[in-house]
Amino acid sequence: MKKGVEQLRRAEASRRTDAVKRRARKLGFDAVGIATLEANAHAAELDRWLAAGYAGTMTYLHRQAEKRKHPARIMPEARVAVVTLTNYFHGHTDPGREPGERGGRVAQYAWSADYHRVLSRRLERLATAIREIVPGAKSRCYVDAGPVPERELAQRAGLGWVGKNMMLIDPDRGSFTFIGVVLTDADLVPDLPFEADRCGTCRACLDACPTSAFVAPGVLDAQRCISYLTIEHTGPFTGDEERLVGDWLFGCDVCQDVCPWNVKFARPTRDGELHVRNEVADPDVTALLAGEPAAFERRFGDTPFERPGVAGMRRNAAAVLANRDRPAP
Ligand code: B12
Ligand code: SF4
Ligand code: SF4
């Protein structure tokens, strides 16, 4: 009798899981999987990474470590994470391309409206869909915020592996994807983790990084990473830091551009909410340097440039201009 009840529960959970995944795709997510919330299998890597000081001034990563190591503690009633990928790739850039007359380079993930806003709205719609499919279900949505180990959960949800460049790589799409997570107490069936490591003997990302930021495969010293320096680092640059950013005004794509999984499988997104906005994809660096806070807010207030803000973007613009005038080493 008990076995029959359990079989019915599983069949119902499986039906609901399929329905949630269908709704996620309809809402515009490119891939979706379900992850368990057991303790992080790579907690020791996170501890070592933090202890080595690789987080730089991102002190929030130290504060959030316990929850990252035990994702079940983030929302104690949650049973699973619904993990989504959204492709933001806009096309291969010519690796030899000089940055435009107007300025420095901007990482592709920032070429449109701020993804935190776009995906937060979409994830909230997914949470509503979960409530319709599983009446009374409680959920919480996360994208690049909060103590959620997003790459770990994506790997566990079967969506891809963590490459030597630390990116979550989807074998069908590459790594130019955003990860979004809904923690929920709904009874859904977890996927099998993506166990394979498809990097093999390749090390293109490690060799191409312009600042040698990888201290070992899969271990990034964020303090040397251009993405960290131009987005997360607070305060002025030292002379060395200024030189490290080169011609990157915001973020960096090099360790993804060279990855064969992106070269072969990344396809331009057709996401209507992620269309390219020229003022962020190819901004006027000189104007940024001179910009007033009110004008900056009007122009970039709903874009990823808001994270470093007017002071951070002025610092970045000054570095790009200084590096442009520097004689080649
Ligand atoms: C802090 C942070 C950064 C920092 C530090 C980056 C880093 N490599 O740790 C900086 C500012 C440098 C950064 C840069 C970028 N970031 Co960032 N970042 C984050 C954030 C907020 C936390 C990551 C973190 O905890 N890092 C500490 C390390 C130790 O943890 P981890 O990266 O999660 O790694 C874990 C797993 O990899 C696992 N692990 C380790 N070894 C192995 C081996 C195997 C086999 C497996 C399965 C797992 C595994 O253990 C680690 C610890 O749990 C996440 C969002 C989030 N909440 O997770 C976004 C996030 C990782 N960033 C993202 C992006 C897009 C970027 C950039 C591409 C932006 C850009 N173009 O400039 C670059 C890429 C740089 C790079 N090569 O990593 C995306 C990545 C999407 C994806 N497909 O992987 C995320 C998930 C945000 C999002 N929601 O989409 N980022
Ligand atoms: S984002 Fe750029 S600087 Fe950072 S690790 Fe990748 S290639 Fe190096
Ligand atoms: S460039 Fe090569 S080593 Fe680096 S993540 Fe891609 S496949 Fe892995």
Would the CB of 252 count as within 6 Å of ligand 2?
A: yes
The pTM for the full model equals 0.96
**DSSP at 231:** I
Q: Which residues of the chain have pLDDT under 70?
A: 1, 93-102, 328-329
pLDDT recorded at residue 99: 53
pLDDT recorded at residue 100: 54
Cα(329) to centroid(ligand 2), Å: 20
Closest CA relative to residue 262, chosen from 23, 130, 93: 93
pLDDT recorded at residue 328: 65
Report phi then psi at 28, rounded to 5.
Answer: 110, 0
How far apart, in whole angstroms, are the C-alpha atoms of residue 286 and residue 191? 49
What the block records as the tokens of 5 is 């009840």
Query: Helices marked H in 252-328 — which ranges?
Result: 254-257, 260-265, 278-281, 285-290, 293-300, 309-325
Q: Can you tell me which atom of ligand 1 is nearest the CA of 255? A: 77
Would the CB of 209 count as within 6 Å of ligand 2?
A: yes
Number of CB atoms found within 10 A of residue 236's CB: 11
User: Would you call 240 a catalytic residue per the annotation?
Assistant: no
How far apart, in whole angstroms, are the C-alpha atoms of residue 70 and residue 141? 17
How far apart, in whole angstroms, are the C-alpha atoms of residue 210 and residue 105? 14
Q: Can you tell me which atom of ligand 1 is nearest the CA of 108? A: 71
How remote is the C-alpha of 212 from its chain's centroid? 21
pLDDT recorded at residue 325: 83
The model's pLDDT over 23-36, given as tens digits with 9 standing for 90+, comes to 999 999 999 999 99
Beta pairing partners, 214: 220
The model's pLDDT over 259-298, given as tens digits with 9 standing for 90+, comes to 999 999 999 999 999 999 998 998 999 999 988 899 999 9
By alpha-carbon position, which residue is closest to atom 2 of ligand 2? 252
How far apart, in whole angstroms, are the C-alpha atoms of residue 182 and residue 84? 8
pLDDT recorded at residue 102: 63
Would the CB of 259 count as within 6 Å of ligand 3?
A: yes
Sign of CA dihedral 10, 15, 20, 21: positive
Cα(151) to centroid(ligand 1), Å: 6
What the block records as the tokens of 163 is 């490459």
Coil, strand or helix: which one is 178? strand
Q: Can you tell me which atom of ligand 1 is nearest the CA of 85? A: 83
By alpha-carbon position, which residue is closest to atom 44 of ligand 1? 162
- Catalytic one of 94, 144, 207, 257: 144
pLDDT recorded at residue 95: 47
pLDDT recorded at residue 128: 98
Cα(167) to centroid(ligand 1), Å: 6
Cα(15) to centroid(ligand 2), Å: 42
Coil, strand or helix: which one is 301? coil
Ligand nearest to the CA of 158: 1
Cα(209) to centroid(ligand 2), Å: 5
Closest CA relative to residue 118, chosen from 90, 96, 143: 143
Would the CB of 208 count as within 6 Å of ligand 3?
A: no
